[in-house]
Amino acid sequence: MTAWLGPEFPPFLEAMSAPPDVGLRVNTQKISPENFLTRSPFPLRPVPWCPEGFVVTDPTARPGIHPYHEAGLYYLQDPAAMAAALLLDPRPEEWVLDFCAAPGGKTTHLAARMGNRGVLVANEIHPRRARVLAENLDRLGVTNALVVNEAPGRLAERWEGLFDRVLVDAPCSGEGMFGREEAAARDWSEEAVRGCARRQSAILEDAARTVRPGGLLLYATCTFAPEENEGVIARFLKAHPEFDPVELAPHPAFDSGHPEWVGETDPRLRRAVRLWPHRGPGRGHFYALLRRAGGEHPRRPRYTGRLPGRGRALYEAFIRQTLRNAPETGLIFRDGRVYQTVVPPDLWEGLRVFRPGWLLGQVEGTAFVPSRALAMALRPEDVLWAHRLEVDDPAVGAFLRGETIPGPDGVGWVLVTVEEFPLGWARATRRGLRRVAAGAPRPEGGRDGSNKR
């Protein structure tokens, strides 16, 4: 490292020894950065390469337990990780696949940039992490995602050439996370780096198969190790002449890739970018964007089915009594739950699918219980009954802790909001508003799973 960075080594070391920046990415699906700045409870400094990204400058602030966090107005994310969605640059209506998605920092950013349109498949191999991923997608109001819990090879077999843009945010030795995650430094070894590189190459091989001709593949890591970065990409390019690195227009704070660090001479490796902790906020990342040759679009039917049978009657009764604007097409009923999906079931049936789409709620006995995911993606004007709380009202904390709070009686389901942003569903009872929702998480904040604070 000393030899590679030369005179930049001392500032690099200094940046790595400082407490990590707390990055806050405004969820543009719910609020614009300008609007958020007018009410931000924390002092913020912009992240130079991400218009919706900021650094919280008060070290005593605890943005992970603020009601705005619970309302999904932002996601706590390392500033270097915020570059992924900008580099992959997904468009509304495209099909996008994120191979290594949990806890969901980059997926939720992709969803916001797609304006909740198109198709976003978020895959996570570890079941427990897939659950955290789904909770984060719910909180941020993502409605265009399928959450899948599969090995990359299974996705490659089923979805050959299907996606416009694919992200591989690979499991890595996490050198950029030293000082943030204890395990990263504890588990590091040269053998671990070599093992990571082998696993990354295998994931990249599978991911490449799912990219359509003319489509884009973004490879990312949060480590500095060249074997896991330029080394993996060099090997991939030798085996895949159909892929070519895209020349990025990097921010002045970004460095290029360094082929010479792995004894390679392919000048195209310089088109990759490296983010260093001493050149800008965040702990460092490596990105390489690869375009597949060709340009044919695959045939991708949309699912527009309507809900069959028993689920429909209960769901329709619920929407008549509760919603002004209700999801009506692309509905499916599975294991007692109602989802809205845009992807036809024959494309994903047989895979381990954690969520086939936007979870709207579930049938419990003779009632339909709406989900937190539904609440979090609505606006107060979408429902017949909304109960607005101001951010400093103690009832906000009480509601989030699951306590019954004062409110109207006899109106059925009520959308409780902090200002105009939903926090969840409540049932109006004689004693007040009682929080209920299918799939509600435990009442606590800061569950991004990234930089919890």
Ligand X SMILES: C[S@@+](CC[C@H](N)C(=O)[O-])C[C@H]1O[C@@H](n2cnc3c(N)ncnc32)[C@H](O)[C@@H]1O
Residues catalogued as catalytic? 222
Name which of 225 and 369 has its Cβ closer to ligand X.
225
Hey, is 313 helix, strand or coil? Answer: helix
Residue among 165, 270, 272 nearest 212 (CA): 165
d(CA 302, CA 159): 15
Q: What is the DSSP string of 193-255?
A: HHHHHHHHHHHHHHHHHTEEEEEEEEEEES---GGGTHHHHHHHHHH-TTEEE------TTPE
Q: Is 102 in the site for ligand X (CB under 6 A)?
A: yes
**At closest approach, how far in Å is the CB of 129 from ligand X?**
5
Site track for ligand X across 150-169, x = CB under 6 A? --x----------------x
**At closest approach, how far in Å is the CB of 364 from ligand X?**
31
Beta-strand ranges (E) seen in 99-178 are 119-123, 145-148, 163-169
Name which of 149 and 340 has its Cβ closer to ligand X.
149
Name which of 162 and 323 has its Cβ closer to ligand X.
162
Name which of 128 and 302 has its Cβ closer to ligand X.
128
**At closest approach, how far in Å is the CB of 91 from ligand X?**
20
Stretch that binds ligand X, among 122-130, 234-242, 324-332, 389-397 (CB under 6 A): 122-130
Backbone φ and ψ for 331, nearest 5 degrees, come out as -90, 140
Hey, is 82 helix, strand or coil? Answer: helix
Q: Is 125 in the site for ligand X (CB under 6 A)?
A: yes
d(CA 82, CA 284): 11
Q: Is 226 in the site for ligand X (CB under 6 A)?
A: no
Q: Is 81 in the site for ligand X (CB under 6 A)?
A: yes
Q: Is 124 in the site for ligand X (CB under 6 A)?
A: yes
> Position of tokens 């579930």?
362
Stretch that binds ligand X, among 98-106, 190-198, 390-398, 407-415 (CB under 6 A): 98-106
Count of residues of this chain found to bind ligand X when the rule CB under 6 A is applied:
18
d(CA 243, CA 380): 46
Numbers of helices and strands, H then E, in the chain: 15, 22
Applying CB under 6 A, among 71, 83, 87, 100 the residue interacting with ligand X is: 100
Which stretches of the chain bind ligand X, using CB under 6 A?
A: 81, 99-106, 124-126, 129, 152, 169, 171, 199, 203
